[in-house]
Structure 1
Amino acid sequence: MIQEPVPTLLERVLQRAVRDHAAAEGRRRLPPALHVGIPGGAVRSFELVPGEVLDLALRIELVEAMCRDPLARDVVPLLWLTRGPDGPDVEDLAWAAAAGCAGPELGVRLDLVVVTRRSWLDPRSGVGRRWTRLRH
């Protein structure tokens, strides 16, 4: 769970995730996706099918599988969901719970944030940032 004050390096990494998502999405709306890695670096993505129900056990397995490669390289990855500008979703908390369960099983602390074209938010703590105009 991300708490205030957010470390400067983490804040820059999360801002990079927002910029990358805004550039990728452009004017069309991309399907929601789970990303694991470091924004701007090696990233693995899993496209989420709207309406498809995944239970907690399957979400945990997906998170663990996606995290194994970075962890094998001694990199603790960041997890982020990308989606449209809609408000908080129950899916956000479901994926945050999966990250919270997978982390201890993998022996690390995993943070998950929700990224839109203009913001990032930790759904567990409510900490986040929003921009009206994102500068590069």
Structure 2
Amino acid sequence: MAPPDPDPARQRALLLREAVRRHAAGERRRRFAPVLHVGRPGVRERTVGAALTATDHALRCDLVAAMATRSGVDDPLVWVTRPGDLDREDVDVAWAAATRAAAAEAGQSWTCVVVTRRGWCDPVTGEGRTWARLRD
């Protein structure tokens, strides 16, 4: 068994690639409601519907905080899967704001990224990565 990668940036990049890979392999519909994921892709994660119609900022903050504490992993990844391209949408900004607020309250530094079939993007910083064809 190989030792864990000591480079946190590389480890995060691998986790985000895995989130994209799992989403592309698992979601075949063209249209579906956004889903919030908290944890580690392929290891342990919790999910909840991420539509904005039934939530406000305070409820989204509470959901992120509860899911992060119950995820069972240290420094959980927070990501929203949704259809379409990686252009910034209201749902992306709303969950990113809730994640930042919940993280600040918990004294953590979680970030929320958006994941589609082709890549991921941080709606706050604009950092991201896309793939024309994701291979195992």
TM-score range, shorter chain: 0.7 to 0.9
What are the equivalent positions in structure 2 for 1:15-94 lying under 5 Å apart?
A: 15-49=17-51, 52-70=53-71, 73=72, 75-86=74-85, 87-94=87-94
Q: Percent sequence identity over matched residues?
A: 45
* CA-CA distance at 1:93 after TM superposition: 0.7
Q: Which amino acid aligns with 1:13?
A: L
Task: Provide the rounded CA distance (Å) in 1 between the counterparts of 2:102 and 2:32.
Answer: 26
Q: Deviations over 1:67-121 (max 9, x none)?
A: 1123xx5611000000001432011111101001000211211111000001100
1:17–1:74 distance in 2 versus 1, CA, 3 Å: closer
What secondary structure sits across from 2:33 in the alignment? coil
Aligned length: 128
- Structure 2: unaligned runs, 5 residues or longer: 1-7
Q: What TM-score, normalized by structure 2, do the two folds share?
A: 0.86
* Larger RCO (CA within 8 A; separation ≥ 6): 1
Q: What TM-score, normalized by structure 1, do the two folds share?
A: 0.86
- Structure 1: unaligned runs, 5 residues or longer: 1-5
What secondary structure sits across from 1:125 in the alignment? coil
What secondary structure sits across from 1:7 in the alignment? helix
* CA-CA distance at 1:7 after TM superposition: 1.4
Give the structure 2 partner of residue 7 of structure 1. 9
CA RMSD of aligned residues (A): 1.7
